[in-house]
Amino acid sequence: MNKDEAKDVLKTYSKINIDLTRHCRDRMFERDVTVEDLRYVIEWGEVVEVEESPEFGDCKCKIRGTDIDGDELVFIAAISEDIVLCITVF
């Protein structure tokens, strides 16, 4: 999957379901990041890396952008079936 394809899939799946790892929930709490921030970055940000990820799903992506408040946000998400799994945010 290339970056453009990953962006399209992320946009589609994030409207249905974003799941969070425990690690991701902890980092989101520490950094005051919401699921809506993640959706915003998926919609308006950029997929900067895509790699295969048998551990988490079909592939793992690094997404970079700004959150709803305009703060820089980068997160790692896996695409699996019809779910976006957020692994971590920074």
Per-residue pLDDT for 14 more than 80?
yes
Share of the chain above pLDDT 90, in %: 77
Domain ranges of the chain: 3-89
Measured CA to CA, the distance from residue 14 to residue 56 in angstroms comes to 16
Q: Are 35 and 63 in contact (CB under 8 A)?
A: no
What is the number of residues in the chain? 90
DSSP state of 70: S
Give the pLDDT score at 57. Answer: 67
Whole-number mean pLDDT of the chain?
Answer: 92
pLDDT, one tens digit per residue, over 32-64 is 999 999 999 999 999 999 998 777 667 999 999
Residue range 3-89, CATH number: 3.30.2310.40
User: Residue 49: which residues within 8 A CB-CB, separation 6 or more?
Assistant: 3, 61, 62
Q: Among residues 58, 55, 90, which one has the least CA distance to residue 76?
A: 90
